[in-house]
Amino acid sequence: MAVLDAFSLRGRTALVTGGNRGLGRGFARALAEAGADVVIAARDEVRSADVVAEVTALGRRALAVPADVTRPEEVEQMMSVAVEEMGRLDILVNNAGVAIHRPALEIPLEEWQRVIDLNLTAVWTCSTAAARHMIAAGGGVIVNIGSISAEIVNRPQWQPAYNASKAGVHQLTKSLAAEWAPHNIRVNALAPGYVRTEMADVDRPEFQQRWILDAPMQRASTPEEIAPSLVYLAGDASSFMTGSVLVVDGGYTLH
């Protein structure tokens, strides 16, 4: 296989949770540009329709499946519809997530549970649902979107629920990778640093010192700059890689 051919996703189908905004939207476009057909799983049907149009404009098949991934019954339905409509499921990108800035002693239990349910439990639910289809098909790839927040404590804002959830994502990635390797399912995580999205307001003056200036590259990334790393993890270019966490953070975690 030629080197660049190893990055091609032609003939494969990817499902991206939370794929209609921010990093998810960038991931969906990148997967399509690499040749994959794409399923967008998210709650906002209008936003999802916009991404479907972007993917089809790139010459790939696209499908929007409305789903709340914190509800197991909707996850099972989402996977079934994706496989039935697209004919296969080769790649799952667990991207849906939420970040809430609040000191630990001010977090109500229901808010903690909301973060854990979406950022961690939904990764478990989506991964196990996808794995059943992948095992039957002979294999597949799962990429979980983690964060540098699994490795560091973000400042000046406090976000303990988010940090704990992403640490769980990284360890779950390793656990599933070890267990599912015999089934030809690779499971890796992508851990971005600060990315300019709706979730991370990187331009707020009070965040500049800790978020931007403390990093060696002294800038934030964009979804388009992170997306090629997702394509690498999703395809044959990373065929001997499983259970790894790929950190793409402008050097933030070096210190």
Catalytic machinery residues: 162
**250, 216 contact by CB (below 8 A):** yes
